[in-house]
Amino acid sequence: MSDDNKPMKYARYALGEILLVVIGILIALQINNLNEDRKEKLQESKILYNLKDEFQENLQNLRYKDSILKTTIKNLEKVFEELEMEKNLYKGKEFDNILSLALGSPTWVPSEFILNDLKSSGNLTRLSNDKLKKLLYEWSRFFSELDEIQKMIEDSNTQLINYIKVNGSLRNIDINNPSFNYNRSNLIKNNDHLLKDHVFENYVDDKLYVLKTALNQFREAETLILQILDATATNKEQ
């Protein structure tokens, strides 16, 4: 081979070396990308598992609170019906027992620890499941509305109790609680007179209205939670 071909030979050799380096870099980048994708999928799987666990716990707690809410509404309705009657079915101790069951404050405060962590870390937007992201944003909106109804439940119950404090006997109501081991009041025989009081009726009406609203919200919450649980289980892009 003449000396005139040596530069061409060296150039080809150098080009081959460069190509090998470039191919090696591309392979390394591909492997790195695959590893990153794998890490992201593992992280997302962990997030989905934690979300599912949190919302399953929320659902279980919701159904428990729902049963208490229905019991409270049932007894409030008994009081409401008594207010409409000329001759009452429940009197004295029996009426006090109904009042005791009607004075519950069945609020429900679901956990948002995992969801709030996702928001603060920015990982919520990185979820691959668009349907799940939409449902979680919807849940955040719903959570704000739920917080308002919880406050209304507590306020309506407090107003009713405060009215009975002034115009009736809380003691005769509280003795229906097994942990309240005292005798009935000697000062006020019973709370039957409240059934002839229009202000008492208004407080009962207000609380019943709020609890009925809460019951509807509980139904909406259960539907939304079940959709979220379904989305965390399927984990498919929508």
Q: Which of 80-99 are b and which e, b meaning 16 or more Cβ less than 10 Å from the residue's Cβ?
A: bebbeeeeeebeeeebbbbb
How confident is the prediction for the chain on average, in pLDDT?
87
Confidence label for 238 from pLDDT (cuts 50, 70 and 90):
very low
Question: Would you say how long the chain is, in residues?
Answer: 238
Q: Which residues contact 190 (CB under 8 A, 6 or more apart)?
A: 91, 92, 93, 95, 96, 169, 172
Q: Is the model more confident about 225 or about 40?
A: 225
pLDDT digits (tens, 9 = 90+) for 186-218: 998 899 999 999 999 999 999 999 999 999 999
Q: pTM value?
A: 0.79
pLDDT of residue 234: 65
Q: Is 122 left (phi over 0), alpha (psi -120 to 50) or beta?
A: left
Query: How far is Cα 107 from Cα 96, in angstroms, rounded to an integer?
Result: 23
pLDDT of residue 236: 45
pLDDT digits (tens, 9 = 90+) for 84-143: 887 777 889 999 999 999 998 888 989 988 888 888 888 888 888 899 999 999 998 898
Task: Count CB neighbours of 51 within 10 A.
Answer: 20
pLDDT of residue 143: 86
Query: How far is Cα 194 from Cα 84, in angstroms, rounded to an integer?
Result: 12
Please determine, for residue 79, whether its predicted confidence score (pLDDT) is greater than 60: yes
